[in-house]
Amino acid sequence: MRKIELSKEEIEMIKHYERDEYFHDTMTEEQREIFGCVIDKAEALEEELDAYEESGSDLIRWFYAKYKAQEI
């Protein structure tokens, strides 16, 4: 697996998501773009690892767990 790289802004968006503070209707265009990048990275990793079952019903939480695991 290649190293997952996230910007400070992407990590902040994931943390908002984890706290259930992700509201697409109230996000700025910049926030939507940042979160879209996170989703694209998560989907690419899911495909690379063929982890469709492993990722379960919450792709973002799975992806962030993978990111945090590599930082240990």
Please tell me the predicted confidence (pLDDT) of residue 58.
95
Q: Which residue has the tokens 């190293």?
A: 3
Q: What's the rounded Cα separation, in Å, for the pair 26 and 38?
A: 18
- Identify whether the C-beta of residue 34 lies closer than 8 Å to the C-beta of residue 10: yes
CA torsion 3-64-31-19 (nearest 10°) is -160
Please tell me the predicted confidence (pLDDT) of residue 52.
93
Is 4 a residue whose pLDDT tops 90? Answer: yes
Is 20 a residue whose pLDDT tops 90? Answer: no
Q: What's the rounded Cα separation, in Å, for the pair 53 and 35?
A: 22
Between residues 16 and 5, which one has the greater pLDDT? 5
